Copies of this chain bind each other. A is one copy, B any other.
């Protein structure tokens, strides 16, 4: 099978094609540089051309033509993922969804939308139509797309209330096009959703999504400072367990991260203070204050609805989730991060253990989230990176303590997930992408079913640098 990229490109010439080398390179990258490991390995990755279909018919045409010519197709939204999700390892066609942005219908509790719609624009449309908003979004809300979030994300702001994207009910329906001789269009609901959600576009291309909505509120952003980090973590855990207080975010961050990396917070926080960032529904603010007054160690330093700060810090969620590390990288490009799961019920104890081991080498950043009905923590700690070997060691120590790692220093679905093949995704890839042309190199189960995960997977089809 030899790809004939030029032929595919020529046959698609009537579509919106970008073949300017500078913009192709730009559109072949995501935020993989969060990871020093991926940075080394993926920096050279570049596609051959970018096509931006305007509708599903054009998506079908792209997939059909590329199938004919054995041309790889890597689909992307805004490219704000940081596992290399949307990077065309084998070159070929980068399919950019920026033209498919229509919000088709807003209904009570749900919205139907095209994949290229920005999360920000989707929320604006839902709020305008009905006072609703999406249940959860990534901290890249202002620039990321809904399709990219579903295909490459796992949860985020709102997960403290609604759990993860993989939980039943957090995606209602996905419309998916396959890459076959004659591409098929599927409507997936229920159990079928797991085939293509969080599959990086390796086994089908989402052309329409139906997502649940929650009421939109004028969320009050709040920052609460603590001298002791475990006090901060316990406060966030307890508050998130208050059933009558509606939150959209509860994020404990260890000192000195807020002082060192959150410029607009710096004048109002001491370097040794830890910060809990919250989004509180306005109708819950009084109860939030009541709860907080009971906690002697808590000091409210910021409220978006009442402050005299010289400079508006902006949305507080843009300091949380992946944005914490992003802000850190601007001050210290040598840092990186991890993705940890501290499971219920011993999530607080586990965090305490990890802190004792690593101290300031791994400053904690927690996100209170729900899973199986219980509040616990996702961890996105900063790592003061030294070597790949030490990073591996840090990961191993976490795992030995029973803290699951979703390794953000790997580019495959499996290594960034639970280190095992997802049979549903693999089975559907066999059906939907028989030639293996969709986002090559991201699914180990497809390429090397007997991989053992002890070392980093090295995709053999990766186009070489230069």
* Residues on A facing B (Cβ under 8 Å): 108-110, 130-132, 135, 161-164, 167-170, 172-173, 189-191, 212-215, 217-218, 240-246, 281-284, 286-291, 293, 345, 370-375
Contacts of A214 in B (CB 8 A): 215
Given contact pairs A131-B131, A162-B244, A169-B245, A190 touches B373 in the complex (Cβ within 8 A): no
- Complex partner residue of A246 from B169, B241, B281, CB under 8 angstroms: B169
Within the assembled complex, what's the spacing in Å between the Cα atoms of A315 and B345?
A: 37
25 contacts between A and B (CB under 8 A): A108-B215, A108-B283, A109-B217, A109-B282, A135-B244, A162-B243, A167-B242, A168-B242, A168-B287, A169-B242, A169-B244, A169-B245, A169-B246, A169-B284, A169-B286, A169-B287, A170-B243, A172-B283, A172-B286, A190-B289, A214-B215, A241-B374, A243-B372, A373-B375, A374-B374
- A283–B135 Cα distance when bound, in Å, is 12
Indicate if the CB atoms of B282 and A190 lie closer than 8 Å: no
Residue in B212, B287, B370 whose CB lies within 8 Å of A190:
B287
Cβ B244 vs Cβ A167 within 8 A: yes
Q: Using Cβ atoms and an 8 Å threshold, which residues of chain B touch A161?
A: 243
Q: Pick the contact of A168 from B110, B164, B290 — CB < 8 Å?
A: B290
Rounded to whole angstroms, the CA-CA distance of A164 and B212 in the bound complex is 26
Report A443 CB to chain B, min CB distance, Å: 24
Q: Shortest distance in angstroms between A90's beta carbon and chain B's nearest beta carbon?
A: 35
| CB-based contact B172/A218 at 8 Å | no
Contacts of A372 in B (CB 8 A): 241, 243
A130 to B191, CA, bound (A): 34
Distance in angstroms between the alpha carbons of A213 and B284 in the assembled complex: 10
Considering the chains assembled together, what is the distance between the CA atoms of A293 and B190 in angstroms?
A: 10
Contacts of A130 in B (CB 8 A): 131
A164 to B242, CA, bound (A): 10
Q: How far is the CA of A286 from the CA of B172 in the complex (A)?
A: 7
Count copies of this chain in the complex: 2
- Please indicate the chain B residues that have their CB under 8 angstroms from the CB of A293 in the complex: 190-191
Give Cα A131 to B130, complex, Å: 9
**In the complex the two chains form, what is the Cα distance from A170 to B286 in whole Å?**
11
A119 to chain B, nearest CB (A): 18
Contacts of A244 in B (CB 8 A): 135, 162-163, 167-170, 212
Given known pairs A162-B243, A241-B372, the reply for A212 and B284 (CB within 8 Å) is: yes
Q: Is the CB of A243 within 8 A of B373?
A: yes
Please measure, in the bound complex, the distance between the C-alpha atom of A173 and the C-alpha atom of B289, giving whole angstroms.
Answer: 14
Q: Which 4 A-B pairs have the closest CB atoms?
A: A241-B373, A163-B243, A169-B244, A169-B287
Say whether A212 contacts B373, CB under 8 Å: no
> Which residues of B lie under 8 Å from residue A281 when comparing CB positions?
109
User: Complex Cα distance A164/B262, Å?
Assistant: 38
For A109, what are the chain B residues with a Cβ–Cβ distance below 8 Å? 215, 217, 246, 281-283
> A374 — which chain B residues lie within 8 A by C-beta?
241, 373-374
What CA separation (Å) do A371 and B373 show in the bound complex? 12
Q: Tell me which residues across on chain B come within 8 A of A287, comparing CB atoms.
A: 168-169, 172, 190
Whether the Cβ atoms of B284 and A217 lie closer than 8 Å is: no
Please name all residues of chain B whose beta carbon is closer than 8 Å to the beta carbon of A375 when the two chains form the complex: 373
Chain B residue at minimum C-beta to C-beta distance from A282: B109
A373 proximity list for chain B (CB < 8 A)? 240-243, 374-375
Closest to A213 in B: B283
Minimum CB–CB distance for A239 against chain B, Å:
10
Q: Judging by beta carbons under 8 Å apart, are B290 and A190 in contact?
A: yes
Contacts of A217 in B (CB 8 A): 108-109
Known: A109-B246, A135-B244, A169-B288. 16 other contacts (CB 8 A): A108-B217, A108-B283, A130-B131, A162-B243, A168-B287, A168-B290, A169-B242, A169-B246, A169-B284, A170-B243, A189-B290, A190-B289, A241-B373, A241-B374, A242-B373, A243-B372
